[in-house]
Amino acid sequence: MGNKAAATTVLALALCVLLAAPALDAAACNPSALSPCGSALFGGAVTRGCCAALRAQQPCLCQYKRDPAYRRYVNGPAAQSVTTACGIPRMKC
């Protein structure tokens, strides 16, 4: 019985990982997730929510930097100020 329960548990965990993986990949790079930083990019205060969003999207910032739709926001001096205020190192793309 012990081996069967362990096997069932391992199978359930593997299934959970497989089901969650596509959702994580689809949501990983989502520019709208940076919306909490919108006011900071236009002179407003840098909030904790903004910094949390930047940290979550940090692996995607180089992708946004290359995208013509987002490049001016990511490359601009305001974005550099926001990332500095959040303690995020300069992107090396």
Question: What percent of the chain is helix, strand and coil (3-state, nearest 5)?
Answer: 75, 0, 25
Place 91 in a pLDDT band, splitting at 50, 70 and 90: confident
Domains of the chain are: 28-85 (1.10.110.10)
> What digits encode the pLDDT tens for the residues 5-61?
332 222 222 223 333 333 334 448 999 999 999 999 999 999 999 999 999 999 999
Q: Which H or E element spans position 3?
A: helix 2-28
> What was the pLDDT predicted at 53?
96
To the question of pTM greater than 0.85 for the whole model, the response is no
Cα 3 to Cα 19: distance, rounded to the nearest angstrom: 24
> What was the pLDDT predicted at 74?
87
